[in-house]
Structure 1
Amino acid sequence: MATEAAFTSRPETLAKYLKLDQKGSIMAEYIWIDADGETRSKSRFEMAHAFTLTSVSTVASTEKLGQRVVLLWIHPLRDVSDFRLGIAGKKLWAAAGLNAAARVLEVLRVAAASSVPSPFARRRVFGKPVGQPPAEGRYCSPRNGHDLQWGHWGTLKEKEYTPEDLPMWNFDGSSTNQAPGDNSDVYLKPVAVFPDPFRGSPNILVLSECWNADGTPNKYNYRHECAKLMEAHAAHEPWFGLEQEYTLLDLSNRPFGWPANGFPAPQGPYYCGVGAGKVVQRDIVDAHYKACLYSGIKISGTNAEVMPAQWEYQVGPCTGIEMGDHLWLARFLLARIAEEFGAKVSVEPKPIPGDWNGAGLHSNFSSKEMRVEGGMKHIEAAIKKLEGRHKEHIAVYGEGNEKRLTGRHETGSIDSFSYGVANRGASIRIPRECAQKGYGYFEDRRPASNADPYRITGILMETIYGSAE
């Protein structure tokens, strides 16, 4: 509590020590040290010593206000946990005028933006402050298939929680188009628990399903049916990996880095790009990746995409219902982090008309039969079944997908089904290494970036293996 006061009551002082790094994205880490090993004030924390570091051993400025110490660690490569080790660390410790036995009470990490003076760069993302209040549980749920609703957050007793331990909450469904005004209560049923990267341990994020007052799943509760399909066909051990593409927009809904009255250079140098003029807002991408790792989300990669200001992250492999759970939480974390940087996250399938790539949610799938020698026959059999239900899949693969699936810009046509080896212009792509080995997985390239992962994974299971009954 005392530490939090330092960051909220003295933002102008703290901002002085958060000089933005001109060379690119960095990680900043705060350390609060009590030189005599005690915490003196719980109600108000005055910054005692503050050091702005441009390297491991350089103290740029100091301000002595008392016994306690706040150290702003700005170094992109070194872990702060052992910064006292070695000659440089000992020099730094001595320069601070601290006793070598001074005890580190906490380590607080935040992401420092190189281009946006974000409040995210002044807030802890990891760490447990001294005097931690009772745990908070934040409830969130998919709202309408492509948007995430932030439901409630409340105080819980500090302990390890499973979904079954947590209480159900309710909210006004009439304000979210999930219920009529005269019967507006919608209930949040906890189904998955994740560590909260914003408030730190022991706080949690709670993914919930939406249920109506009569005990039926809400109309936007696609998870319920998906979970039944996954349970019915669990013997096939389905693995999924989803590739979430998105576009970062400024507050005027213009892609970041685009000219106000024109367009950037044509596509070509932006995909997996590095350097100014090729990529923007890497700070958001990096902070999102770290937050996902902290929360236990199975994020497996990220990259700049073909269109400037467009990025992608990959989640998986995940088994069964876990795929939708992890992707929805990853979506929430991205929107929450982008908020701190004054950015919008667009999952429109075709955010910019013309000769620009759209945004998809490419869905990779395999079963245990497909992942072993001879698995190609099972892959081909599955693709044949997908061909027979092409229209049914398109119906749940995202709104506005017809603007994206044109047969151009690495897509197949929305009106026809196709597949091929290493063909990114097909509905289904079989990776070349899988074709050569004779087993592996396939990629469904049809889903749009705004599609619901529960609907994607659910219909894949239903088409290939049958209904849950």
Structure 2
Amino acid sequence: MNGNRARHVSEAEWGGAEWTNLSGPKLARPARHFKRARRPSARTAEGAKDRRPTITMSSSMSASSDLSKSVRDKYMCLPQGDKVQVTYIWIDGTGEGLRCKTRTLDSEPKGIKDVPEWNFDGSSTYQAEGSNSDMYLIPVCLFRDPFTLDPNKLVLCEVLKYNRKSAETNLRSSCCQVMEQAGHSHPWFGMEQEYSLLGIDKHPFGWPKNGYPGPQGELCHLLILDRCLVLRWHCPISLLPSPAGPYYCGVGADKVYGRDIVECHYKACLYAGVKIAGTNAEVMPSQWEFQVGPCEGIAMGDHLWMARFLLHRVCEDFGVVATLDPKPMTGNWNGAGCHTNFSTEAMRNQGGLQHIEEAIEKLGKRHSYHIRMYDPKGGADNSRRLTGSHETSSIHEFSAGVANRSASIRIPRQVGQDGCGYFEDRRPAANCDPYAVTEAITRTCVLNETEPLPVPSGEVP
């Protein structure tokens, strides 16, 4: 190396490096381009206030996970005669949480019309006052029960208030109306649900008890060559940071945490009849993704909500928590989204790329409206995730591109080559309501709505 000594910079220095002027002229003082990690002083060691978060570990598993499953299995094998258990599932007043309760029917329901309406105490689910708490459960979609097995069922329900009007968090009703209006275009959706696994103490599942796993990006080495900073991987020298890391689609006990949960959830979805399309480990350790679709119209929301219910129930058996928080860990870690793939019949046919481009132009004109619809808090949750980093676009800007995972809208490269297919909206947060997302996309791209909706106070404009 022409007599110049290469110095490997520590991981602490790497964390504070300032990436400026890397490819410019030689630097008079290369040390300006990274900050040295200070040695802990005696004062710090003696108990000075440490700004790093303190993580107190109690137990990564819940008490229910310690119960003997073999004892449970003995009872689950008992015959139940002609009776059938039907579990009613609904979205609670948070717009994110799910609730359920079970009743006995005299015979197996063959269709949704065979499942009677029911009611529940809305004052205990943030949906009503105690003085007028009865809420109606209206069955809308029937699935097989993978926990108690056939002939038992799971049924997804809409929630109506005492006057039989939709509850505030029942977004399915308006979505269904929009899908009926757009039925002629045959809108298809596929949603990629990302989630993170946590212990009961809310510490990421599988992470070190008092620290963090290795970085999600390839650990690079800084070297000073010819008084300039360059980056070197285990591959040829590059001047751009690499997003590559060991966890995405990883294999091995040191790279993925919780695969048993993922595989059990996958099988539960298949048994239930959920249109699950696949699954993979994500960029952040203990973060996973499953895909649901393609589904036409209202079925997208029905199947994704049921897949979420099954995920939470499987995690319950393992004593682990699945969170849909869009940014469960601050710092240099990926957030969690629910990328939504969309197409109409015209987009899927020959020459469909033109229709895709027209739809993207419409989306760009209503960016702020879609941001408000893409998380339960009107954009506040997504503002922590859509920063322009970690494979996201900026929440304040609309962008589109072919094979660009840092854009608001991505057109898959194969679609660009074929001239038809679908596009991916990468803005929805992991905790979005799929009814709200699919309704918004359909309103803009199919029904050609252009009027902006008023911004509620406290929401991201």
The TM-score with structure 2 as length reference comes to 0.74
The aligned length equals 352
TM-superposed CA distance for 1:119, in Å, is 4.9
Task: Give the AA of the match of 2:338.
Answer: L
CA distance in 1, matches of 2:345, 2:306: 26
What runs of 5+ residues in structure 2 fail to find an aligned partner?
Answer: 1-64, 217-244, 450-461
Question: Match for residue 209 of structure 2?
Answer: 260
Would you say 1:160 and 2:137 are equivalent positions? no
Question: Match for residue 358 of structure 1?
Answer: 335
Residue among 271, 276, 291 paired with 1:314: 291
Identify if the C-alpha distance between structure 1 residues 179 and 146 changes in structure 2 by more than 3 Å, giving closer, same or farther: closer
The TM-score with structure 1 as length reference comes to 0.72
TM-superposed CA distance for 1:150, in Å, is 2.3
- Secondary structure of 2:328's aligned partner: coil
- Residues 90-121 of structure 1 deviation map (CA, whole Å, 9 limit, x = unaligned): xxxxxxxxxxxxxxxxxxxxxxxxxx867557
- Residues 397-445 of structure 1 deviation map (CA, whole Å, 9 limit, x = unaligned): 1141101000000000000100000000000000000001110000000
CA contact (8 A) 1:118 1:341 kept: no
CA contact (8 A) 2:83 2:108 kept: no
- Secondary structure of 1:315's aligned partner: strand
CA distance in 2, matches of 1:118, 1:225: 42
TM-superposed CA distance for 1:162, in Å, is 1.9
CA distance in 2, matches of 1:265, 1:118: 33
Question: Match for residue 11 of structure 2?
Answer: none
CA distance in 2, matches of 1:145, 1:378: 36
CA distance in 1, matches of 2:83, 2:276: 29
After the TM superposition, which residues 87-126 of structure 1 pair with which residues of structure 2 at under 5 Å, given as runs? 119=68
- Residues 301-345 of structure 1 deviation map (CA, whole Å, 9 limit, x = unaligned): 000000000000000001110000000000000000101111001
Task: Give the AA of the match of 1:309.
Answer: S
Question: Match for residue 254 of structure 2?
Answer: 277
- Residues 207-259 of structure 1 deviation map (CA, whole Å, 9 limit, x = unaligned): 00000111211111000000111111111111100000000000110101111
CA distance in 2, matches of 1:410, 1:434: 20
Sequence identity (%): 53
CA contact (8 A) 1:349 1:403 kept: yes
Task: Give the AA of the match of 1:194.
Answer: F
CA distance in 1, matches of 2:266, 2:325: 21
Residue among 147, 150, 155 paired with 1:206: 155
- Residues 71-92 of structure 1 deviation map (CA, whole Å, 9 limit, x = unaligned): xxxxxxxxxxxxxxxxxxxxxx
Would you say 1:446 and 2:427 are equivalent positions? yes
4+ residue stretches of structure 1 with deviation over 6 A? none
Task: Give the AA of the match of 2:246.
Answer: P
Question: Match for residue 28 of structure 1?
Answer: none
- Secondary structure of 1:449's aligned partner: coil
CA contact (8 A) 1:145 1:222 kept: no
Task: Give the AA of the match of 2:285.
Answer: P
Range with bigger deviation, 155-164 or 392-401? 155-164
Task: Give the AA of the match of 2:422.
Answer: Y
Question: Match for residue 226 of structure 1?
Answer: 175
Task: Give the AA of the match of 1:455.
Answer: A
CA contact (8 A) 2:283 2:334 kept: yes
TM-superposed CA distance for 1:165, in Å, is 2.0
Identify if the C-alpha distance between structure 1 residues 117 and 270 changes in structure 2 by more than 3 Å, giving closer, same or farther: farther
Residue among 385, 405, 420 paired with 1:424: 405
Task: Give the AA of the match of 2:411.
Answer: I
CA distance in 2, matches of 1:315, 1:123: 31
Task: Give the AA of the match of 2:286.
Answer: A
Q: Which has the higher contact order (CA 8 A, sep 6+)?
A: 2
